A = this chain, B = another copy of it.
Amino acid sequence: MRINIDEARELSKSIFIKAGLTQSDAQIITDVLLETEMRGVFTHGFLRLEWYIDCILSGGIRTDGEIEAVYDSPSWASVDGKDNLGIVVAYKAMQLAMEKARETGVGIVNVRGSHHFGAAGYYTSMCAENGMVGMSMSNGDVLIAATGSRVRTIGNNPFSYAFPAGKYKKIVYDIAMSHTSDRKIVQFAKEGKSLPEGWIINKDGCPTTDPLDYERGGTLMPFGGYKGYGLAMMVETLAATLSGAAMTRDVHAWNKNPAEGGNVGHFFMALDVSRLGDPDSYRARVDGMIDEIKGSEKAVGVNEIYYPGEIEAAKMQKCLSEGFVEIADETVASMHSAAKKVGL
């Protein structure tokens, strides 16, 4: 459904205000969800709004937006999100990392006591928009198998980095650790197609290309086998072990029980590139790298080689110039359901 951007923004903001958020926190989460939606990452946009509201109404998520630094030093802090909305906590934590980077060149912020933080790429984009390199990650519910396991062992932990460029838009890389989402497995099953090798294992832990094996007790595999498994562990450790957040099976990032805090952990880093030299020269070097890669010989049938975030930036640009964003019907319905729940 084609929705006017201002209307979508107003609806989201008024729902969160009615749910108890301050004006400015409602603005933060709305900006994050709207931008994510415009970038075409619909799985992390307004689709999640009703779930956040459910958690707020059940008491699992607090709305005062107050976070507490439990450790603070010029370049490194650790923050307790105190069961607030993950997106609000993450935004404020990355703001803190950027403040530190402005002062000292480097800002790192660990977080515990948070919740699902949405699109990891939003926070790194904040850095790139401010001439900084950004890194962000979060742990989450166990969802993917460790190499050698037959069950869900570790979170499908999101990881993002971003770099400012010059003539090009910022580079924004934003991934989860599975080869693909469970939605895509279901789609393959519907279409009666075989999966590529390595995407899932069956209930015995054996490789399978039959998408129906997923419903029969199969599990998503990390991308690239043990290499993806190891990256998921890096996120678990940087985001959760250091900060004192819940780990692996103890995490609940989602609606397992909306009335309970998730104690999700995050990790944010900001580096101010201007410390290492003239920022224009840095930007020219990033442009040069992108020129080189985009200009390389293309595979047969390929029209364009993209850098991370390029496609999403084009989608967002289109939305902004038209003033409209395409939101899935089920998502719009879910937003209206959330509005009703908060009494709008």
Contacts and interface: CB of A to CB of B under 8 A. Distances in A.
Counting chain A residues whose Cβ lies within 8 A of the other chain, the interface size class is: 35 or more
Interface in A97-131: 104-106, 108, 110
Interface stretch (A8-16, A73-81, A255-263, A332-340): A73-81
How many copies of this chain are found per oligomer? 2
Interface in A261-313: 271, 273, 275-277, 282, 285-286, 288-289, 292-293, 296-302, 304-308
B305 A146 contact: yes
Contact of A297 (B73, B78, B104, B150): B150
Given A106-B106, A173-B230, A148 B305 contact: yes
B233 A171 contact: yes
A175 B230 contact: yes
A240 B308 CA distance: 18
Interface string A196-231: 111001001110000000000000000111111011
A149 B104 contact: no
Given A161-B234, A197-B198, A223-B228, 8 more contacts: A75-B75, A75-B105, A153-B296, A153-B305, A205-B298, A241-B289, A242-B271, A244-B285
